Every structure is written in structure tokens, then in C-alpha cells.
Amino acid sequence: MKISASFLGVPNIASTLRRLNVTDVDYIHVDVMDGKYVKNKTLPFSEYSTIPNYTRKRLDVHLMVKSPLKMIDDYANLNVEFISVHLDINDKIEKIIERCHLYGMKVGIAINPKDDITKVYPYLSKIDLVLVMSVEPGLPGQEFIKSTLSKINMLKEEIKKQGVKTLISVDGGVTLDNVKYLRDVDIIVSGSTITKSPDFQDTITKLRG
């Protein structure tokens, strides 16, 4: 299991990224919000473009925006491993997948807690990742929604049935107490559990189990 560390809500992004850079965390999770798809709004790309100044870690970009296609060209210039968009935006999903792959980035589709997980099934052979939201998108520090576990199990069965290698990532409310239920997913996204801890590496090691 790999770990993607989110810095959403931290008081000092540069300092947090520097501290994460010296850990063995696998990815930096970059939450991008436009104030339209979700109420909150994050820093503009001009600020996020400086992330590689503070960390060499590969980026796991989560676009919580209504129009992600126009953002892909910008983020392709960063050290991006994954870029995920929400299925319910209904904004040229096929074209988004194609554009991400054209740049050599892996692409994911995010599914919200209220979404029907089966809606992502037709895309499994075309994408690299399903980002299963275990909280409502847009706010840090929420409690893990337990019904997420049944969605994960359904998704695992469908991935096996289709014979594809699509990864499963889980984002939201992951703690040292509930991570034991997520040992068989590919990636977990963790924010405040890591960034509010005194020792980032120790917490990351404990999350890995």
C-alpha cells in the first residue's frame, strides 16, 4: 500500500512540503478546488506551480473543479504521477482521459460518497486509478464514511472481473485507527493524520502497518 500525503488546510505549505520531502511518503496529494464544484477555493496554479521547489515527490493531483480540461496543460508541466477528476462533472471525460495520457500522466476518476460506484465501471479499462472519496469533497478533517468499504469491495470485484489493473485510492478521514480496514487498497490519501502529527515519518510508517 502506498501513501499520498495531503497538505490541505496546513498553515505553511512550503514548510510542510519540505518536511514531507524527507520522509518515504510515496506521493504528495494536491487538492485543487475552484469554488464552484465545491464551496472552497484553493490557491491559484501560479502558487501551486512552486511545489517542485519544496519537494521532489511525485504529485497526485485531485481536481475538484467543474472544468478540469483547461487545467490539464498547466499541471502537465509539474512532476505529476496521477491527475484525478470527478465523474459527475460530465465535462468531456473521454477527452480528459485522452489529454492526460497524451502528456504521459496517469488518470483517475473520483467517486463521491453519494455516487453509484457502478458508474465508473465503463471507464475502468481506460483509466489508471479510481479515487474513492470516503468523505464529502472539499473540506479537510472529516470523519471516514464507513459505507465506503462496501464500495471498495464492489470495485475490487469488478476490476478482477474485467481483468484490468486499475488502482484503487481512498481519500478522506483515514486515521491510524481505521487504516486497518484499507490494507488491501493500492493507495491511501492522508492529510491531517500526518500533517498534525509531531513526527511525519513515524505516522507514515504506522499508516503503512
Q: Which residues are catalytic?
A: 31, 171
Residue length of the chain: 209
